[in-house]
Copies of this chain bind each other. A is one copy, B any other.
Amino acid sequence: MKYYNTQILIAIISNKLYMDEYLLYNHAMNESFSFELIAVQDKARAGIFHTPHGSINTPTFAPVGTQAAVKGVTPDQLANLNTQLLLANTYHLYLRPGDNLISELGGLHKFMGWNKPILTDSGGYQVFSLGDINQIDDNGVTFKSHIDGSIHTFTPEKAIQIQENLGADIIMCFDECPDPYQFEYNRSAMNRTHNWAERCKSAHTRSDQALFGIVQGGIFKDLRIESAKFINGLDFHGNAIGGLSVGEKKSEMLTILDIVPEFLSENKPRYLMGVGTPLDIVEGVARGIDLFDCVNPTRLARHKAAFTRFGRINITNKKYRSDKKPLVVDCDCYTCSNFSRAYLRHLVKANEILAPTLLSIHNLHILIDLADQLRRSIITGTFDDYRTNYHKNASNQGDSI
């Protein structure tokens, strides 16, 4: 039986009014895209990126809704997770249901019922990883659809046109994504990516969409520096680092992240594409990254794995059979607030489709909440301590048992 205390209610109301003022201030900043740095600690940054669909507090992690849906998670649930930015895939949406249909239906935000910022990738990565490629040349890439085998060509201009039809707040340049270890291929792919970046910039017409460039160059420092300088020189709304977390060693990724950000403008957001894990986010933020996305949280959930803050657990393990604890003991996500490991294990063993939903909610929370905690630590000047403690807990297995 709950009786609300009047004083508490008034405090809630006052706070609400205060928040509205704050949002009003933010809205005024939204006239065009802009990135404000709120606090910096060494290389780590806390910022705000203003977009037509609202402001994004950085660093943050963006869930992936490949086909205009985060697998098993509703927009309502995503909003409850404090999701600030969603990613959708141009390659998939172009093939099905088609960017023209989405445009006709009012754009991606309306189509998928998500009124906050959206980012679309350019289709580059998917064309190279999913498509059956017929031809690559300076003009673009011709490939077979993974759905029905039909033949399609993506050029830089086409990738921008599709993304303008989709209507995300942040769109990406079309890039070539090679195996990270082949030097010659990486040099030519980088040069082609630079040429395509210039063409994407020329093709870009919608002022309500921010266009980001992408740095390539595999695991090669010289190429990465050359690429960062070139892409940064084109003065995009933001800069991304692509071609990482694609099979190279973790140490190789970190080496590249040690050097690339310093060549990218301080006053623009930096986006590390397709990364990753809790540890990747801590180390990416330490190196000056502001935005992250990855399919990991939802894909692992469909494969019965749950993130802890420091690693992961396989919930089908017999030791969880009668375990009354939540996935992570002090986690305040919906899943951990309501369900035991024993129940989640049962759902997975019984093939209930609620299992990937509840595990996805938890996994997404771990990454979104971690990025938010890193942001707070930067603002309060305690990022170094946070990072040191993080590594100490991780090496003690942290909350993974």
Name A residues whose Cβ lies closer than 8 Å to a Cβ of B. Answer: 1-4, 6, 9, 13, 16-17, 20, 23-24, 27, 67-77, 92, 96-97, 101, 104-106, 111-113, 321-322, 324, 334, 338-340, 342-343, 345-347, 349-350, 352-354, 356-358
Q: Is the CB of A353 within 8 A of B353?
A: yes
Considering the chains assembled together, what is the distance between the CA atoms of A70 and B17 in angstroms?
Answer: 39
Q: Is the CB of A113 within 8 A of B338?
A: yes
Nearest chain B CB to A103 CB, angstrom units? 11
Q: Is the CB of B71 within 8 A of A352?
A: yes
Q: Is the CB of B353 within 8 A of A72?
A: yes
Set of chain B residues within 8 Å of A4, measured between Cβ atoms: 13, 16
Set of chain B residues within 8 Å of A20, measured between Cβ atoms: 1-3
> What is the oligomeric copy number?
2
Set of chain B residues within 8 Å of A322, measured between Cβ atoms: 101, 104-105
A97's partner among B92, B342, B354 (CB-CB below 8 A) is B342
A334's partner among B74, B343, B346 (CB-CB below 8 A) is B74
A67 closest partner in B (C-beta): B350
Considering the chains assembled together, what is the distance between the CA atoms of A334 and B76 in angstroms?
Answer: 9
Considering the chains assembled together, what is the distance between the CA atoms of A337 and B53 in angstroms?
Answer: 20
Set of chain B residues within 8 Å of A2, measured between Cβ atoms: 20
Set of chain B residues within 8 Å of A321, measured between Cβ atoms: 97, 101
Q: Is the CB of B24 within 8 A of A3?
A: no
Considering the chains assembled together, what is the distance between the CA atoms of A1 and B113 in angstroms?
Answer: 19
Nearest chain B CB to A384 CB, angstrom units? 38
Q: Is the CB of B3 within 8 A of A349?
A: no
Nearest chain B CB to A374 CB, angstrom units? 28
Q: Is the CB of A343 within 8 A of B67?
A: no
A71 closest partner in B (C-beta): B353
Set of chain B residues within 8 Å of A105, measured between Cβ atoms: 322, 324, 340, 342-343
Q: Is the CB of B72 within 8 A of A350?
A: no
A70 closest partner in B (C-beta): B354
Known: A2-B20, A13-B9, A322-B104. A346 touches B68 (CB 8 A): yes
Q: Is the CB of A354 within 8 A of B113?
A: no
Set of chain B residues within 8 Å of A349, measured between Cβ atoms: 96-97
Nearest chain B CB to A66 CB, angstrom units? 9
Considering the chains assembled together, what is the distance between the CA atoms of A113 and B311 in angstroms?
Answer: 26
Considering the chains assembled together, what is the distance between the CA atoms of A356 and B2 in angstroms?
Answer: 35
